[in-house]
Structure 1
Amino acid sequence: MKLDTDDPPGGERGSSSVQGLFILLVWTGLLALGLYAPFVLGLAYIWIDLFRPQDVVPSVMGLLPVSMITACLCGLAYAFGDRRDPPPLHLVTVLTVIWAVWITATTTWAVLPEHAWTKWDWAFKTVMFSAFMPFLFRSRIQIEAAILTIILAIFSNTIPFCIKALVSGSGYHRQLGLLPVNVGLGESSTLAIDSIACIPLIIFLMRHSKIAPYKGALKFAYWAAPTIAIVGAFATFARAGLVSCFVWAAYTWWHVKRKVMLAAVFCMAALIFVPLMGEQWADRMSTITEAETDGSAFTRIVVWQWTIEYAAQHPLGGGFDVYRINRRTVLQEDGSEFTIEARAFHSIYMEVLGEHGVVGAIIFGALMMAFYVSLFRLAWKTKKNKDLLWLHDLARALMVCATTYFAGSAFVGVAFQSFHYFLFAFSVSASHYFLRVQASAQQEGAAVQRRVPLRTPASALVRGRDSLPAP
């Protein structure tokens, strides 16, 4: 009897059922913990957003609106059980909300309203949740837990890519992770830049983690994680991953003291990784500088030219998925015509410019600028404070992470993927934590002054004396 092709063999169904039950238990466990610690519900939402259990095991998790349920419980838990120390209004938060309002406005006049509202439905939620995150993650442990959740969710797809690359080889546009191709982290370029961007966060946790301290067996995990990230990213065959890796390596080399030693380590790693990936990988990476001869790269350049021209004529943007109307014919060197039609932007910057116009590009650029300025100021203020060394290193790690990510995303349409919005939120949480530490120090200083006798002159206090000088 012939098996129905839509019905997997019994062993695969059983394996999928076990996997689905396990993931369901993880989700319900996070919800249960969230009843006692509301910020855990925020962790659950981050996990769902990146791991996408409804797509990993649709037969089980796809039956429930897990994202909506978790988001609603998260909001209710904060409103009724965890409203302590709300963060003050921050420029990053203000610009995030303005950005959400603007993408909603552009959707109202979108060229393709049906497609636009479909994308707006999840893009708007991504932006607004990032604005809400600083209300959930306020303490050091909470911020660290959120970073760990992001890394583990991303590595759930990176590790399978890494293993399959080492065992049987890899390739571009292949489903080697847990998610289908072009779904979240199942999209190779997205996974590649996310994996490389995690490395600065991993190094930060190695130095300062309280939840997973650098000792015992975790030492091996911390040392293995960057290698897994690089091999997994390279195994996607996405050129954006190589760009991100180069930027991270250059930034790291520039800021270390032992430059010769680190350069030797990077060269040795290249000698190991490149042969490991094979000739096909090397051939594909070599096309980065050959845009005119590589069809994919040449297509992107043509689409970017169309986008710039469209934005010049429509400065308010064309709404989500406006790329579907693009069409451009180019005369090649051999005299033949090359036509592109309905091709995606393949760039975070062109996606913003085409869909939301010059105004949208200004808002998004201002959001990025506010993010960097906020972290630079935080790193500068905490530079010489030993008690806040972790906060100083977190600010630097977030800047390196974002720089690495935004370099690679110049070739990937991820303007509304959640990773960089999470980074924006962490900058607000870190700044808020520093303000609370400052306020606490000022209160302690005021309390000390109140305990000093009123007859003590100010000059004596300056000299560190608790009583009047002897006559």
Structure 2
Amino acid sequence: MRDVLVTLIVFGSLPYIFKRPSLGLVMWIWISVMNPHTQGWGFAREFPFAAIIAVTTVAAMATNPHRRYRLPITPVTITFLAFVAWMGVTSAFAIHPDQIMPQLVKVAKIMGMTIVVLLLLRKRIHIEWMIWTIVVSIGYYGVKGGIFTVRSGAQYRVWGPIGTFIDGNNEIALALVMTIPLMLYLYTLVTHKWGKRALIAAMVLCALASLASYSRGAAIAMAAMLCFLWLKSRNKAMLGMLLVLCVPVALVFMPEQWHARIDTIDEYEQDMSAMGRINAWRMAFNLANDRPFGGGFEIYDSEVFERYAPVPEDVHAAHSIYFQVLGEHGWMGLALYLALGVLTWRTGSWIIRNAEPYKELTWAGNLARMTQVSLLGFAVGGAFLSLLYFDVPYYLMAGMVATRIIVEREKQALVPVPKVNPLAPPPDVDEDTTDEELRHDPA
């Protein structure tokens, strides 16, 4: 039944995508992030829904007689394109050129559709469609996992959907950490009281599911995300009070084995998993020093570890977005990736600063703040996970670029709201001036 339902939704959406290519953005993110077809048990699990949606979307854009789609030229997009091009160069000099093709094709699809997303995000409504789709796609597993956590008393780990970027307990936990700030942004848009309550419940359940993954990296990312969320909040007193009340309750709710797992952060030298990651990080560092173009894709095997790792027999994946890009694409790849993150962050800061004087652009400032909080969670948690090619951060990058363009365009026609200093003295008024004269005084 699930296979049939997903198939009907996808094929039923194709005519609408031809009429409005921006709907292809929604369907692509839904299929690629949520992977609803993996929740079935029949033919849909292996059916190429994503490819069908991508081809339909690109065809609709190419045949649209009413609009020409242009890639926004900004420092972020230029750096992103340079990063993608550099991955092509490193693939040409890969250690295992005969093994990289499946991963190269997978990454090319992700980066290619990110460019399509950049082309399609033209209006505020498109950006909000994207945010809603990401939240629903990941939040579904968070709500489901949170209910499971409550029912089981957090005795069992929460896992993500099999066969996806976020199938592991660590990966789904970080994805949920990234989603919570986006839910908070949507909370500012929803006006119906039950809608707001549903979003609050979803945020709580996602937080519980993330904790119940028993992921130490995600726990660190959540702590960083909550601290920065408080710093970015407009109502620090209220949010601080909620955090003081809710965080201890959540920690008390978690069972003893969860606390024992988290406490091993201080004892990483005795943890075989942690030491294996450090060994992989050293391998990536040594490889990048030896090969200017890095090792390309598929470098985590006994041959490469024999050559570059301090402990050759301890073969591990990178378990870090930073050492993953360093090992696979060298120091230049790492420099481009970090520059992309910094420029995206600065774009968010520009949006916040320039949207603040305009009431009509409040949404843009709120979105930029929450996107920064989300990306900070990814930057911290990603230090312990191999999620370099996880598509959601790239979509959020595209959202930042589109939001800045909208702010630049719309603020030209808006009147800024004057700032009122509550400590400033009142204007001078003649003691003989009557109230009636004040009301009619044009000054």
- Which residue of 2 is the match for residue 308 of structure 1? 285
Task: Note closer, same or farther for the CA distance 1:347–1:171 as it changes in structure 2 (3 Å cut).
Answer: farther
Match status 1:48 vs 2:31: yes
Structure 2 length as normaliser, TM-score? 0.86
Match status 1:285 vs 2:262: yes
Report 1:322-471 matches (<5 A): 322-324=299-301, 325-327=304-306, 340-438=313-411
Counterpart amino acid of residue 304 in structure 1: W
Q: Deviations over 1:263-312 (max 9, x none)?
A: 44323323322232211111111112221012211211122122212211
Counterpart amino acid of residue 349 in structure 2: F
Q: Deviations over 1:123-180 (max 9, x none)?
A: 12112221221221211111101100011111222222212222225577x6744x22
Q: Is the 8 A contact 2:18 2:57 kept in 1?
A: no
Q: Is the 8 A contact 1:197 1:244 kept in 2?
A: no
Unmatched tracts of structure 1, length 5 or more: 1-17, 331-337, 443-471
Q: Deviations over 1:386-445 (max 9, x none)?
A: 111111111112111111111111101100010111111111111221233256679xxx
Task: Note closer, same or farther for the CA distance 1:304–1:63 as it changes in structure 2 (3 Å cut).
Answer: closer
Match status 1:90 vs 2:74: yes
- Which residue of 1 is the match for residue 168 of structure 2? 187
Q: Distance in 1 between matches of 2:348 and 2:365?
A: 9
Q: Distance in 1 between matches of 2:238 and 2:353?
A: 27
Q: Distance in 2 between matches of 1:24 and 1:233?
A: 30
- Which residue of 2 is the match for residue 57 of structure 1? 40
Task: Note closer, same or farther for the CA distance 1:175–1:256 as it changes in structure 2 (3 Å cut).
Answer: closer
Match status 1:232 vs 2:209: yes
Moved more, 364-373 or 30-39: 30-39
Using the aligned pairs only, state the percent identity: 26
Match status 1:197 vs 2:178: yes
Q: Is the 8 A contact 1:99 1:363 kept in 2?
A: yes
Q: Is the 8 A contact 1:96 1:127 kept in 2?
A: no
Q: Distance in 1 between matches of 2:309 and 2:283?
A: 10
Q: Is the 8 A contact 1:197 1:404 kept in 2?
A: yes
**Secondary structure of residue in 1 paired with 2:100:** helix
Pairing partner for 2:128 from 139, 144, 150? 144
Q: Distance in 1 between matches of 2:41 and 2:110?
A: 21
Q: Is the 8 A contact 1:154 1:185 kept in 2?
A: no
- Which residue of 2 is the match for residue 5 of structure 1? none
**Secondary structure of residue in 2 paired with 1:404:** helix
Q: Is the 8 A contact 2:79 2:340 kept in 1?
A: yes
**Secondary structure of residue in 2 paired with 1:389:** helix
Counterpart amino acid of residue 116 in structure 1: I
Pairing partner for 2:12 from 16, 29, 54? 29
- Which residue of 1 is the match for residue 421 of structure 2? none
Task: Note closer, same or farther for the CA distance 1:216–1:32 as it changes in structure 2 (3 Å cut).
Answer: farther
Match status 1:299 vs 2:272: no
The count of corresponding residues between Structure 1 and Structure 2 is 411
Q: Distance in 2 between matches of 1:425 and 1:222?
A: 24
Shift of 1:321: 2.0
Q: Deviations over 1:204-236 (max 9, x none)?
A: 11113xxxx231321211211210110111121
Shift of 1:314: 1.4
Moved more, 187-196 or 31-40: 31-40
Q: Distance in 1 between matches of 2:34 and 2:41?
A: 13
Q: Is the 8 A contact 1:31 1:44 kept in 2?
A: no
Task: Note closer, same or farther for the CA distance 1:104–1:215 as it changes in structure 2 (3 Å cut).
Answer: same
Q: Is the 8 A contact 1:197 1:402 kept in 2?
A: yes
**Secondary structure of residue in 2 paired with 1:322:** coil
Q: Deviations over 1:72-108 (max 9, x none)?
A: 1111111222635745312212222211111112112
Match status 1:76 vs 2:59: yes
Unmatched tracts of structure 2, length 5 or more: 416-443
- Which residue of 1 is the match for residue 103 of structure 2? 119
Counterpart amino acid of residue 230 in structure 2: W
Q: Distance in 2 between matches of 1:257 and 1:372?
A: 19
- Which residue of 1 is the match for residue 244 of structure 2? 267
**Secondary structure of residue in 2 paired with 1:428:** helix
Q: Distance in 1 between matches of 2:109 and 2:294?
A: 20
Match status 1:109 vs 2:96: no
Moved more, 124-133 or 228-237: 124-133
Q: Distance in 2 between matches of 1:273 and 1:55?
A: 31
Q: Is the 8 A contact 1:307 1:354 kept in 2?
A: yes
**Secondary structure of residue in 2 paired with 1:110:** coil
Match status 1:158 vs 2:142: yes
